[in-house]
Amino acid sequence: MNEKDKISSTNKIIVELLAKHQWIHNFQVTKFFIEKPWNHIPEEEDWPESLKKFITTASEMALPRKISEENKSCCLDPQIKRGMNPKKQHEVSHMSALINDISVRTGCDVVIDVGSGLGYLGHVLTSVYGLKVIGLESKQSHTTGADKRLFSDTDDKIINVTFEMEDTPENRLEFKSLMKSCFQKFRKSECGKDMDCDGPKVSLSDSNLINHSATNILTQQKNTESEQCDACLAESNQTPIQTDSDRKNDEQGDGPNTTLTGNDVTKSDVYRCLLIGLHCCGDLTPAMLKVYSEADFVRGLCCVSCCYHRMVSQEGTYPHFPMSKELDTVMSKNHLTPSAPFLRLGAQETRARWKTKSEESHQSHVKAVAYRSLLELYAHQENVEFSKLFRRIATAGDFENFDGYIEKTLSRCQFSSTHGKDSMRTKLKALYAEYHVYFQYVEVITVSIIHKILIMLYIP
């Protein structure tokens, strides 16, 4: 069986497993007491064959979790760590080492950091590895914060720009234009701040380049030699970047493909770029993949996706999931329709995380899910709408007991109910008394039965 057939076979098994056991994952956690998923637990005792098969299949289909030892994390200087919490330090130290390794393998000298935030990752890539970085961030406040972190010896190697990447042709054209501007800034920096140089004269996407040979373009460049500095003139004499079609023609003895399209560029035009993203939320990863496939100056891609459930849905479907036509066909045959709870599975914590939690932590998780679910149940039964006045209804310390959680909820949420707070307290407490017996199912199902049972199996 070749690699493609193996992937197809694996996808089929995973889809069939998820479709058969949708009751485990296809519900909103905050509606735990409304959906009542425990009613779907098979009424079989001991270890029935169906359960054994379920565990075996889930275990075999799990992706390997062993950390690669090929790339060692970099050591962060105290000044660079400024503002980073331990989690961010861990992410940045490992991700930067991986990115540097990929940039070396692909010959990239510029990193385009999509969703760069406050610029922590880009700062390390420049300070430790000497890479040029273009940070793209959708929030202006983050872009401003990233600029404040720059050191005097790295400020010419980092460009922070406010830009939101989207999967539209117009956005990709804007992206290419923006990159052209950034490349010119890097060129001017390389030529010397006191020199008046516009850099190389060939555009990334000018229509007049189409069907012009590389020789003609280099001739046009020589005609403007007096307007360029020595560094740019030296670069202008370099050979074009080879594309896949060039290599294929070379192997067939046909010589290089000298026809330039709107995206084909010579080495003097642009840099070799590595497109990266740490925490690429929702539809950002598909947008980056499209850019990677269309922009020739992007020679590599490295991203960590997250929050798949935040993908935009249109009329009950997700345009970006699945991206594979073959997988879409398999899912349709098994009546497995993507939903927000289903997509959350892609970002679910591993069994290793749950195995190391203390009993107190497990109980806190149970209360957090159960209390929030009781609030949803109350709103559902009373036909009441409520909205949060703050980002979080309650913090960890508010889950000590349900009475305290009720008081916090009443002060941090706005309800459409005409009932007074005393009436709400009474009804919420009555629901607690009725459903407390079902708290035992919360962690078994929300951790996922797959993870819970595998935890049991792996404990010595």
Helix ranges (H only) for 223-296 are 230-236, 244-251, 284-294
Position 270 scores a pLDDT of 66
Position 1 scores a pLDDT of 78
Q: Give Cα separations from 310 to 91, 280, 340, 346, 393 (angstroms).
A: 22, 11, 7, 12, 20
SS3 content of the chain, % helix, strand, coil (to 5): 55, 10, 35
Q: Give Cα separations from 246 to 46, 103, 104, 254, 260 (angstroms).
A: 63, 21, 22, 9, 11
Position 344 scores a pLDDT of 84
Position 257 scores a pLDDT of 35
pLDDT in tens, the chain (460 residues): 788 888 889 889 989 988 998 988 888 889 999 999 999 887 776 778 888 888 888 888 877 777 677 778 888 888 888 889 999 999 999 999 999 999 999 999 999 999 999 999 999 999 999 999 999 999 999 898 888 877 655 668 999 999 999 999 999 999 999 999 999 999 888 876 545 554 444 334 333 322 333 333 233 333 444 444 544 444 444 434 444 434 334 444 444 333 323 344 444 356 899 999 999 999 999 999 999 999 999 999 999 998 888 999 988 889 999 988 999 999 999 999 999 888 887 777 776 777 778 888 888 889 999 999 999 999 999 999 999 888 888 887 788 899 999 999 999 999 987 778 899 999 999 999 999 999 999 887 876 544 444 333 333 3
Position 151 scores a pLDDT of 64
Q: Are strands 413-415 and 386-388 parallel, antiparallel or unpaired?
A: antiparallel
Give the global pTM: 0.73
Position 131 scores a pLDDT of 94
